[in-house]
Structure 1
Amino acid sequence: MIGEVNRWWLVLLAVAVGHFGIHLAIYNRVNAIGLSRLTTKIITKGFLLSTILIPLLLLLWFPRPLRELLANQTETARFPVYVTTYAIVCLSSWVFLGIPWLLWRPIFGLEWVRAPRSIEIQDVQRWVRHSLARTRRCKIESRLPLNQIFDLAIEQITLPVVGLPAQLDGYKIAHLSDIHLTGHAHPDYAKHVVQMATRWQPEMMVLSGDIIDRQVCVDWLPEIFSLAEARDGCYYVLGNHDTRISDSRQTRRAMDLAGWTDLGNLSAIHSLRDIPVRMIGNEYPWFDRPKVEPNDHGEFRVLVSHSPDQIWWARRRGIQLMFAGHTHGGQGRLPLIGPLLSPSYHGSRFASGDFYKPPTTMHVSRGLGGCHLMRIHCPPELSLVTLKAG
């Protein structure tokens, strides 16, 4: 009897996990398909509500069949067809969603690039004289245990790149992503990041979108980003949160004023160490992406994309090196399991790290900020990338 009871407990637990997994998969993908902000919020909040309500309603409406099931009285434990069907769907998700999710856990390292790195964690609050938290919400959340929103991880990464021209061996690129200027954090946090990137003396600096969330912060952009210096220029694209500004052209003008080059929806040849390199920007699906032909001439191509989902687009166009953000490393990472949340068609598969899908090597940053003021085992990342022939 005890064994039978335990068995049904395990079945119900498996159904509950499958229920959560289905909703998590939907959440991740809804936030990746370029819907309007309002539509995305309605759908995600609706599914968040159903994540909680469906198990709760099951407990409230069918307490007797549940008790009978757990007591192994299966001959009297009767559920409506729709409840049984949904339970079967939840159990099936272990195969259709669970196996792929398990395969792409960071611990297994499938498709990952072995990129040596050294990491320095800076408590940015100690580098400034005033509080970085400007709002009550930020002050409260920044003091919560384990929260790392101001613990900047400066990661020096040696990234092997297949197809890298010999002249670019040792080339230095500072990668910034997902600044998310919301007004919650003082602009000096972003200024410190830019100063740290510049102090490294990169040959190029790239910013892969989600620069700003609120209109009031547009005026901060020239002051923050004019501090950046790189011999071959500083390039940026916009992301989904940049659509929250009434007119994204204001953001572009402010970044241009700061001396950065707008790479969004563009494809152009730039000279890096006296060799031609095609620099490409991709802001899809929130803005247009450029028309780029397949790489029939063997030129070296670098893509700055907001979303890592564009790696399939990059592969078809023979792009050898890609920088992306958007996923924030999951905003939180569990030991061994890694991230759960990740706004991507592929869930948390490309949440952060270095990946190789021939012919494209992709670096995905955890980002530097966020409108969600929590980071658990997932500190903000400034990537200082040195290229190496792969």
Structure 2
Amino acid sequence: MESIYLILSGIILLGVFFYWENNVIQTTRIKLERNLKSPIKIVHLSDIHSKEFGEGNHKLINKVVRLKPDLIIVTGDLINMDGKNINKMIGLLCSLNSIANVYYIFGNHEHRLRNLDKLAEDIKAIGVKLLCDEIDTININNNRISILGLDENQASRDDYIKRMKGIYEYKDYSNLFSKLESECSFKIVLSHYPENFSLIGDFSYKNYNFDLMMSGHAHGGQFRLPFIGGLYAPGQGVFPRYTAGLYKEDRNLIVSRGLGPSRFPLRLFNRPEIILVEVI
């Protein structure tokens, strides 16, 4: 009988642990020194994949409210490719946009939706800035901020195979980056794919002059191990280079671990994440 209680207790504890790992949001704080006129706070969300944190996503929204951001960035895969909860995710964007200006780019999952054009219209209708290979400029706390949102559309299985083989033809963004470089402002690049920061040769984004790139897609490497980090990320393979946090390699890259599940539904030592970037 005692052994049965021990087994049941172990099962319950394991269930609580996996619930915690997959449903309790962690806030990661990152400070970036860029000599701004006054500090700005940016909330970075990514890879929600249609997941709800409480009714109407109130747990997520309340956490963002408490952080008092000046700007909210969403770097793709808000909606899963099956279109689940699409209206609820648009409602989430609407709620976030009432807290601070929201800038949003599509990820690979949005590009697999059949009604992508309708989604884009609905997002723009609620006042969210959807950037598809374009630059927008905003003034925050006496700082001029230029945001380049990239729409790489590396979404199909064939794309992934070609990328892993090194034969994929990447978009040439040199003209857009040149335009961004000409801006007298704090420059942010939004790309769903962190590997494009430095792992695509001459097309790598860090070859250009900007202050910060923000990405998602890697899901923190899915399973994170002490002293090792993430185990696998799409587009990077096993033991990926960019999975979470701040990377300083000539330019600054911040990668969100994301909030929702990937095709594999479990996260390990890799809780859902909100990033608060404090730029000073």
The interval holding the TM-score normalised by the smaller chain is 0.7 to 0.9
Structure with bigger gyration radius:
1
In structure 2, what is the Cα distance between the partners aligned to 1:159 and 1:285? 30
In structure 2, what is the Cα distance between the partners aligned to 1:345 and 1:282? 19
Contact 2:26-2:271 within 8 A present in 1 as well: yes
Give how far 1:189 is off: 6.8
Aligned residue for 1:211?
A: 78
Give how far 1:326 is off: 0.5
Q: Deviations over 1:145-187 (max 9, x none)?
A: 54511021122x14224xx24314x2100110001016xx577
Aligned residue for 1:262?
A: 130
In structure 2, what is the Cα distance between the partners aligned to 1:215 and 1:158? 32
In structure 2, what is the Cα distance between the partners aligned to 1:328 and 1:248? 23
Distance of aligned partners of 1:242 and 1:259 in 2 relative to their CA distance in 1, 3 Å threshold: same
Aligned residues: 240
1:351 is the counterpart of 2:224: no
Aligned residue for 2:159?
A: none
Q: How does 1:284-299 map to 2 (within 5 A)?
A: 284-286=152-154, 291-294=175-178, 295=181, 299=185
Q: How does 1:46-195 map to 2 (within 5 A)?
A: 143=15, 145-146=17-18, 148-155=21-28, 157-161=29-33, 164-168=34-38, 170-181=39-50, 188=55, 190-195=57-62
Contact 2:56-2:92 within 8 A present in 1 as well: no
1:369 is the counterpart of 2:255: no
Distance of aligned partners of 1:323 and 1:385 in 2 relative to their CA distance in 1, 3 Å threshold: same
Aligned residue for 1:308?
A: 194
Q: Secondary structure at the match of 2:22?
A: coil
Contact 1:178-1:326 within 8 A present in 2 as well: yes
In structure 1, what is the Cα distance between the partners aligned to 2:148 and 2:101? 14
Q: Secondary structure at the match of 2:64?
A: helix
Q: Secondary structure at the match of 1:326?
A: coil
Distance of aligned partners of 1:284 and 1:340 in 2 relative to their CA distance in 1, 3 Å threshold: same
Distance of aligned partners of 1:231 and 1:189 in 2 relative to their CA distance in 1, 3 Å threshold: closer
Aligned residue for 1:244?
A: 112
Q: Secondary structure at the match of 2:214?
A: strand
Q: Whose helix proportion is higher, 1 or 2?
A: 1
RMSD of Structure 2 on Structure 1 (CA):
2.6
Distance of aligned partners of 1:209 and 1:198 in 2 relative to their CA distance in 1, 3 Å threshold: same
Aligned residue for 2:276?
A: 384
Contact 2:93-2:102 within 8 A present in 1 as well: no
Q: Which has the higher contact order (CA 8 A, sep 6+)?
A: 2
Aligned residue for 1:320?
A: 211
Aligned residue for 2:7?
A: none
Contact 1:177-1:365 within 8 A present in 2 as well: yes
Contact 2:43-2:277 within 8 A present in 1 as well: yes
% same residue: 22
Contact 1:367-1:381 within 8 A present in 2 as well: yes
Q: Whose strand proportion is higher, 1 or 2?
A: 2
Give how far 1:305 is off: 1.4
In structure 2, what is the Cα distance between the partners aligned to 1:296 and 1:207? 25
In structure 2, what is the Cα distance between the partners aligned to 1:273 and 1:353? 25
Contact 2:32-2:277 within 8 A present in 1 as well: no
Q: Secondary structure at the match of 2:213?
A: strand
Q: Deviations over 1:37-90 (max 9, x none)?
A: xxxxxxxxxxxxxxxxxxxxxxxxxxxxxxxxxxxxxxxxxxxxxxxxxxxxxx
**Letter in structure 2 aligned against 1:172:** K
Q: Secondary structure at the match of 2:104?
A: strand
Scaled by the length of structure 1, the TM-score of the pair is 0.56
Q: Secondary structure at the match of 2:267?
A: coil
Distance of aligned partners of 1:223 and 1:355 in 2 relative to their CA distance in 1, 3 Å threshold: same
Scaled by the length of structure 2, the TM-score of the pair is 0.76
